[in-house]
Structure 1
C-alpha cells in the first residue's frame, strides 16, 4: 500500500468514527423529558406572534431575543395527540407536523378495534366527531348510528370497537368537532371552533398503535402512549376483546417489546392508577409510567389529595401528570405561582408532566364570565386564574407567563401542547433541561 493509500484509509476511518459520534449525539430518542436534541426544527410564526403580544417585561425581552436563533427538538415539548390546534388529531399528518415543530415526544392515545387491534384515538367511542364515519356506509356499524330520517346529534356514538381494523383504516380523520344542532350528517361534522381551523382537514390518515411506533422511530422522537379507558355504553367492552384490564394494559407494552423499543424511550400513561401500578410491578416500563391525575381535588387543599402524594410515591408512582390548573394559582397582586399540589408533589419525590398548552381559546383571556355568586369563571385549562382580586391571563400571549412558571418554579419535566412550536420555542430560549 502506498503512503497516499494509507493516508486515505486513515481519513476514511476518521470520517466513519465522526459519523458515529454525530449519530449518537443526535439520537433524540435516548433523551429524558426536558432535554434538548440536536435535530434543528422550524417553529414557524406563531411563537413570535405570541411573544410580540406580551406586555413589556423581562420575560418578553428574553423571549424576544431568541427570535433569530436556531431551534432544536426537545423532549420538554410533547405533542398532545400530535398538533391538533390545526391538524386532525392522532393522524399521521398531525404527528409529522408536531415533530417538525420540535416535539421530542409524541402521544398515541390507545384504544381498540372489535378484532383486537390497538389504534390511535382519543377515546373508544369518538369516531363520530374525529372521522368521516357517519358519511360512509360504516355508519350502520355504529353503536348508535346517525339517523338520516330522525337526526339526533346528541345520541350518535361510533366506536373503534364497532369496526374491524380493515374497516377502521378506510376512514379519514378530521378535526374533533360536531355541530350539536345539525339536521344532516354533513352539517354534524362541520363544527370546528373558530379558533381552530379546517385548513388541513382535507386528509387525515388514521393509524394503528404499531404504525405510530414505526412513525415515531422514523421521526426520531420518544413515545408516550395513553391507555384509554373503556366506554360502558359501547357494544363491545375491554373484557370482551382482551379478557381483562390487565391483559389490555400488557398488550400495549407488548407492542413496544415486539418492536424492540427500549423502556427508557417510552412514557406509558393512564388515568387508571391500577394500570400504572400494573406496569410498575409486571413490566420493565414502570419507571417512566405516568399517572394522569384528574381526581376531583382542590389544588390548594392537601386534605383533598386522596391518596396523598406520599402514598402515591410509596405505591411506586414516579411521575404524575395533572392538568395545568392543578399546578398554578394566582396571588392578589396577579402573579402566577405554584399551587400546593405542585409543591406537595415535589416534596414527596414525584416528577411532574402537565397538559395541555394551546388547547384553550385565549384571544380574550382566560375568563369566561362569573358564577351565580359573582365569582370569576375561567376556561378549563386556565381554571387557576379565578382570583377576584387580579387576572393573570388577559391575552393569548400570556400563556407564556404560565409556561414560564411551570418550567422555572414548578419544574415540570415536560408540557403537552396542541401546537408544540410554542413550547419548543420557550424550551430552546430558556435552555430548559
Structure 2
C-alpha cells in the first residue's frame, strides 16, 4: 500500500525518496550465497556460511567498479544505483571529456562504439574518429570503428544510451556490431542506460550517501586539446567536487598517470592526500620488477595509496596456496595503502580465472575461489578496499569479517 501511495508524489520527490529509503536496506541478491556454496570445504567457507542471515550494511571495503557492470551498463545511473543497493560504500566515475571539454563518465575516451548505442544514430556515427567499416569474413578481417567522447558535444553525448560493454568484431552491419555482450553477462537490465556527466555522478553519489573515486582517464586525443592541457583536465576534475561542496576525505581521485597524482598532491593537497596511483607497470613492461627503493620513492613523493591489478598482489606457494606477493610485501613495508582491481570481471573461474588471476591459476578452479582470493587480499595483504563488477560479493565478505 505504501508503494501505491507514493505514486501520487512528484517524480522528482519519488526519485529522492527511493534513493534515501534503501540506503540502510542493503540487498545482496543470490550471487554471494552461490559463491559460498561453490567453495571447497574449509574454515573460510564455514565462517562465510555463518553470516548468511546478515544483517548487511554498506561498506567502504566494497567499491563499485563502473557501478555494477556485471549486469548493468557501466557508468550509467542504473548501474550506480544497483551498486549502492548492494552496499558499495564507494562508487567510481571514470572521467573523460567531450568535444566541448565537458567531463563525462566513460571508461575510456574512445569506447563509445562498444559501451553505447552511438552506431544506431547515422548522423552521430558519421562523426566517429573511425566510422564503421564492415568485417570481411572471407578474409578474416574484423570490423573497424572508433567513437570518442571528443567526437561529440555534450548535447550529442546526451542522446546516447549506455549498453553492456561488448561488440561483435565480425559484424557486417552496425546493428550486429553492437550485439556482443559476453555470455556470462546479461542484457536483461540494458533497456535503460542513462549516461551521466561527472557533475551529475557527484550529485547522485551524494544522494546515495557514498564516497567517490573518479579516475582521470588517459586522453585518446593529443594534449593540449584546443588549449585544454593535462593540468587543466586534472584541475577541472577536482573543481567539480569543490563546486558541489564535497569534502576531500570523501574523494579518492585516481590515475594511471603518476604525474596526475603528483599534480593533485602539489596543487590540491587536501585531495592529494588520498589520491590513488593506479599501477600498471607490471604489464606495461614485462621486465619490470618491484623494489623497496621504488616503493619508498613513491611514498616519499607523497603517494599514500597504490592500486595494482589483483594478480600483482598474490602468488602461490609450493602447496599451491594463495599468498601475498613480493610486490604486496614491499608496498606494505613502504607504508603505502593498497586498493586493487577488479574482482568478478573474469567470468567463470573454472579454467584458472584468466588475466586477473594469472599469478594464482593453479590455485583457482571454481567460482567459489573468488572468496579465497578476497580473504588473502583482506587478511594477509591488508588491502583497504577492492573494486568489483558485482559489489554484493565484497559487501558480503566485509560484513561477515567485520571490516
- TM-score with structure 2 setting the length: 0.90
Residue 277 (str. 1) matches residue 262 (str. 2): yes
Contact 2:276/2:305 (<8 A) preserved = yes
Q: Take 2:169 and 2:227, find their aligned partners in 1: how far apart are those partners? A: 34
Contact 2:282/2:312 (<8 A) preserved = no
Partner of 2:204: 215
Q: Secondary structure at the match of 1:385?
A: helix
Q: Take 2:164 and 2:105, find their aligned partners in 1: how far apart are those partners? A: 15
Q: Deviations over 1:47-81 (max 9, x none)?
A: 00110011111000000011111100000000000
Q: Secondary structure at the match of 1:248?
A: helix
Contact 2:135/2:170 (<8 A) preserved = no
Residue 403 (str. 1) matches residue 374 (str. 2): yes
Partner of 1:384: 359
Residue 188 (str. 1) matches residue 177 (str. 2): yes
Structure 1 pair 299/180, CA: closer, same or farther in 2 (3 Å)? closer
- Specify every segment of 5 or more residues in structure 1 that has no aligned partner in the other structure, as ranges: 1-26, 28-37, 368-378
Please tell me whether Structure 1 or Structure 2 has the larger radius of gyration of its CA atoms.
Answer: 1
Structure 1 pair 175/317, CA: closer, same or farther in 2 (3 Å)? same
Q: Deviations over 1:5-33 (max 9, x none)?
A: xxxxxxxxxxxxxxxxxxxxxx9xxxxxx
Q: Secondary structure at the match of 2:224?
A: helix
Partner of 1:230: 219
Q: Secondary structure at the match of 1:218?
A: helix
Partner of 1:328: 314
Residue 168 (str. 1) matches residue 142 (str. 2): no
Contact 1:40/1:70 (<8 A) preserved = no
Q: Deviations over 1:162-210 (max 9, x none)?
A: 0000000010100010101011111101011111111111110000000
Q: Deviations over 1:353-396 (max 9, x none)?
A: 000000002242426xxxxxxxxxxx11001124xxxx211101
Q: Take 1:330 and 1:310, find their aligned partners in 2: how far apart are those partners? A: 25
Matches within 5 A, 1:84-103: 84-103=69-88
Q: Secondary structure at the match of 1:355?
A: strand
Q: Secondary structure at the match of 1:402?
A: helix
Partner of 1:31: none
- Does 269-278 or 197-206 show the bigger shift? 197-206
**Shift of the alpha carbon at 1:153?**
4.9
Structure 1 pair 100/334, CA: closer, same or farther in 2 (3 Å)? same
Aligned-pair RMSD on alpha carbons?
2.2
Q: Take 1:311 and 1:121, find their aligned partners in 2: how far apart are those partners? A: 31
- Specify every segment of 5 or more residues in structure 2 that has no aligned partner in the other structure, as ranges: 1-19
Contact 1:132/1:173 (<8 A) preserved = yes
Q: Take 1:79 and 1:422, find their aligned partners in 2: how far apart are those partners? A: 11
Q: Take 1:214 and 1:243, find their aligned partners in 2: how far apart are those partners? A: 25
Q: Secondary structure at the match of 1:145?
A: strand
> How many residues of Structure 1 are paired with residues of Structure 2 in the alignment?
377
Q: Deviations over 1:84-125 (max 9, x none)?
A: 000000000000000000000000000000001000000011
Aligned counterpart for 2:148 among listed residues 159, 179, 183: 159
Structure 1 pair 411/189, CA: closer, same or farther in 2 (3 Å)? same
Aligned counterpart for 1:340 among listed residues 315, 326, 342: 326
- TM-score with structure 1 setting the length: 0.83
